[in-house]
Chain A
Amino acid sequence: METTTFGAIAAAGVAAGGIAVCFAGNGEGLLRPPGAADEADFRARCIKCGRCLEACPYQAIRMAKGPTGAETGTPVIDARAQACRLCADFPCIAACPTEALHPVSARDEVRMGCAVINRDLCIAVQGMRCEVCYRACPFIDSAIAIGASVREGDAIHAVFEPLIDPEKCVGCGLCVQRCVVSDPQVAIEIVRDYGEARRRIDEEQAKHVSNPWAG
């Protein structure tokens, strides 16, 4: 299938083989506010003071819940409920007394994580003109671009597939908040570890997703 990319993006490479991995949620899977480094660094510094929550004008930052465990009370972002809106002045980082949230020089320097699309669930991959994540992305045509290809079995229509560029995606999660698919799960998620995200993007790209409408 020939793919042409609109705009300048680094198209995701296609990995050979690959087995779908079930990615269970754990402390390392939690989406942290902007400025957080890896989970070990963050845990070592965060004193659960709640100032970042207070500072967030969008109430995107919440307290991690759970009956027990070290992560309880740490700040997390549930992107589906409210993504990080990448305030220009990062009030959450400014409020952090321990540099658990490290200073960030610009919005595009944030590295909260990287979006990964589940191509089996994404309706754009199946040929629907959706691309809601692409149009919602604060780095449109950069972090998410559209890869267009001719639709399988239908020479007069194109598939407009959102493609993530791990170099540019900051992991704000606005795409997750906006995604129209929720059943059985949201078709896009933020993976905090960029290496893991790249691996999964490659794996997704290697999948053949058939188009159930193709005649």
Chain B
Amino acid sequence: MDVTRRDFVKASAIAAAMAAAGGSLAACASKSDAGQQGAGDTQTHTAVCRFCGCGCGVLVETKDGKVTAVTGDPDNQSNRGLNCVKGYYLGKILYGKDRLTTPLIRDDAGTKGTESGLREASWEEALELVSTKLRETWKKDKSRLAFWGSGQQPITEGYLTAKFWKAGLLSNNIDPNARMCMASAVVGFMNVFQTDEPAGCYEDFDNADVFITWGANMAEAHPMLYSRLTAHKLQNESVRHIDITTMKTRTSASADKVLLFRPGTDLAIANCVANYLIQNKKYDADFVRDHLQFKMGTENIGNAYEDGYDKSDLGKSVDKTTACTFEEYAARLADYTLEYTSELSGVSVEDLTDLCEVFADPDLRVMSLWTMGVNQHNRGTWMNHNLHNIHLLSGKYGKPGSTAFSLTGQPSACGTAREVGTFCHRLPADLVVANEAHRRYTEAVWNLPEGYLDEIKTPGYHTIKLFREMSKGNIDFLWSAHNNWAQSLPNLTRFLGEDGEHTGIFDTFIAVNEVYPTLTTQYADVVFPVAMWVEREGQFGNAERRTSVFEKAVEPVGDAKWDVWVLLEVARRVLEGETIDGEDAFTRLFGFIWDAEKDDFNGDSREVNRAIWEEYRTFSNPDLNERAAAINAEKKLKMEAKQLAPYDEYLAHHGLTWPVREVDGQWLPTKWRFSDGKQADGYDEVGIEMYGDKGLAGGMSWYKSADHKPSVVFRPYEPPAQEPSAEFPFWFCTGRLLEHWHTGTMTRRVEELDRALPEALLSMNADDAAALGVNDGDMVQLTSPHGTMQIKVSLAGRVEPPSGMVFAPFFAAETLINRVVQDYYCPLSKETDYKKTCVSIKKA
């Protein structure tokens, strides 16, 4: 029994002892191999951590149908048995006390936004209700339905969902939370190289001379990779790490040099480097000659303050580029002198020069690393361009250790959202709906009549558009899975209808696949309890293009079901009576894994996954499909650029980085794309032989790029969407911290992790706190033009913002920082800027 001060004052003596905190759950992570010495029914399965984009391998031990231990996988070449504290307690996420095990239905929409109102229901009732609502909406007005997915959705699940939405419903209203995470990186890669995802790999960490983190707190957000970066530094005294950031983080604390810049001016810093290289003739002239083409893009593109921005003349023009000469490009850069950039950014001329010299030194291998600071940026795509620009101009691309490496946030943002293409404008394997040849190719793989997908040639609603429309009452049906949008979206004051004006959320029929009650389930009309992590087999694709399988280790808890089963049960009902080419539509699309008579899968979890994978893999192996192969050849799609291996190869190898090439009967991964060398050593030998050119500068050949030449596009500095004012004088930056994953719905249910970081705190500069009369631990009211919320201040220094800036993590539902965050996005990628909302702060 706890003793409070009141007890003390009132009572004389209390003898009860307080039990120490602790007690272990069944899923306690074990650090020994004792589990393997137990009873004969202990089994070990290989899996991948389901949190961040690092993609650490783990081993899952089970006994009597429960996960008993999760340990790092020593055979996994990405992490060699290492985990962060989240991964260490991974097994416990399965067994939180309030796991959802029964379908739930809300009868009274008036209870939305509260913790009550959901009742238990049968699967049949829940499936019928959702299917009926979806079919009704679909038949009435297809523009009023949507699916919101995730970079945490396994590959085969994302693939089937996209197939149902795009081919089954002929709707492009499907987008993932990866839109809010990686979209700026995607558009950057596509614009520059015409193919998505980094060309490098984790082995680049072992070969770099200089690491540059651009607005990335890797020490906390990518724990395992930061361990790798640090190990390389420890073993090589000359290796340096420069942290370019708007606030001091744990990453800055261990960097050799910190460049603190004014928010948004990273665009200018990168251009300053480019200008320095050209002015001082220290760019790689051979590289420029052999590889690069130069362009100008639309400028003065404003911001998406209004819902109609995308359709405005300006909004429609943002993707346009025109070719220019190297000299014209250089002329536009000339403004970005060291002095001008220093004045704009706040970084000293000396520090800028040091940075420029890193790129100017032909002997240094430089690895740029970035993630949300660059991507969640009102000019996120531009900043991605500018990073590629300086690596291309300096020739620091392709050699191990020299690369521009975009870190990914989620375990399968690459594998599922990006490679499968669960976006409103995409199709699988880098194909897009707007391109006729891409639609023809997709029709071939999906066995659809030619022209069938022409109905979806116009992209649907991207994430913010979708939720803005929903808030205005223009969405009748929303289905979401593997995300918690009612906590993670920006501008929740609007999207949750708290402004009294945008109350569409209360009228939209919302179905949610979930494993725990969340803020999102509080708005759901139906909650489907689904299998979590290793309760089914799945696949993730991590930041280095490594596809890995996590095996099914246990059955789903209670009456929870695999997402694919739920999807197909809904698809079967919605598509009833529909035909494609005279054949039953459901059978045409999903008959290869579904037994209509049994009304269930035609195989076990492994067999179904394998079958889906083999169809999906056809996108990158056109030879598996005659019709697809013909289109690939005729339209020069080069679909093999992302070649994937047969399913069982991934099981045998603990993951493989694509493109995976068949050489002498063996499937070999590619570590360095577009870089010539032996396939067996991880270079892109097969790809270059097939489509590329040999003997070019740096041994590179960007065979997927137009004319085999990546595009260097001039992207100027333009200011953030909001800037501090007398009314809202502080920048508010948001993000993730090591102990919790995203909205905390899993990690906060692990006692140890909740103990480790129990509340979201506002990190503030000590001078600002003093000026406001605020002490460590005081509650403050944070207000933006969008909303207001209360949060406790920390001056402890874990994150140390400069004066004029504050930071808070988004894991705490009770704090709900996204009530105040702006929903303005990069006009090209439509990814929101979570880093630069302007706020006022006063003591609460």
Contact = CB atoms under 8 A, between A and B. Distances in A.
B798 interface: yes
B82 A127 contact: yes
Interface string A133-162: 001111011000010111100111110100
A181 B798 CA distance: 21
Interface of A: 2, 4, 6-7, 50, 53-54, 56-57, 59, 61-63, 65-67, 72-73, 78, 80-81, 85-88, 123, 126-132, 135-138, 140-141, 146, 148-151, 154-158, 160, 177-183, 212-215
Given A54-B8, A140-B796, A156-B80, 10 more contacts: A63-B3, A63-B14, A80-B20, A88-B776, A148-B254, A150-B235, A180-B89, A182-B22, A213-B72, A214-B74
Given A88-B775, A88-B776, A132 B756 contact: yes
B82 A215 contact: no
B739 interface: yes
Nearest to A154: B80
Interface residues of B, number: 65
A160 B227 contact: yes
Contacts of B253: 6-7, 140-141
29 contacts: A50-B8, A53-B9, A59-B5, A61-B5, A63-B7, A65-B3, A65-B15, A81-B2, A85-B776, A88-B776, A127-B81, A129-B226, A129-B227, A130-B85, A136-B756, A148-B254, A150-B235, A154-B82, A156-B228, A157-B224, A157-B228, A157-B231, A158-B227, A158-B228, A178-B755, A182-B23, A182-B752, A212-B33, A215-B80
A137 B752 CA distance: 17
A158 B206 contact: no
A72 B235 contact: no
B17 interface: yes
Given A80-B20, A157-B231, A146 B756 contact: no
A81 B15 contact: no
A178 to B, nearest CB: 5
A150 B797 contact: no
Contacts, number: 171
Interface of B: 2-5, 7-9, 13-18, 20-24, 28, 31-33, 71-72, 74-75, 79-85, 87-89, 205-206, 223-224, 226-228, 230-232, 234-235, 250, 253-254, 737-739, 752-753, 755-757, 775-777, 796-798
B21 A80 contact: yes
A215 B206 CA distance: 18
B20 to A, nearest CB: 6
B18 A67 contact: no
Given A65-B16, A156-B205, A6 B254 contact: yes
A50 B9 contact: yes
B254 A128 contact: no
A181 B28 CA distance: 11
Nearest to A57: B777
A178 B254 contact: no
Contact of B8 (A62, A78, A123, A137): A62
Contact of A128 (B28, B82, B226): B82
A129 B5 contact: no
Nearest to B754: A180
Nearest to A64: B3
Contact of B230 (A73, A80, A86, A148): A148
A180 B756 contact: yes
Given A54-B9, A215-B80, A182 B21 contact: yes
A160 B220 CA distance: 12
Query: What are the 3 A-B residue pairs with the smallest beta carbon separation, nearest first?
Result: A213-B81, A182-B22, A129-B223
B516 to A, nearest CB: 20
Given A65-B17, A156-B205, A149 B234 contact: yes
Contact of B234 (A72, A132, A148): A148
A180 B82 contact: no
Contact of A177 (B13, B85, B228, B755): B755
B13 A73 contact: yes
B508 to A, nearest CB: 40
B31 A129 contact: no
Nearest to A174: B796
Contacts of A132: 85, 739, 756-757
A24 B550 CA distance: 46
A56 B231 contact: no
A128 B88 contact: yes
Nearest to B79: A157
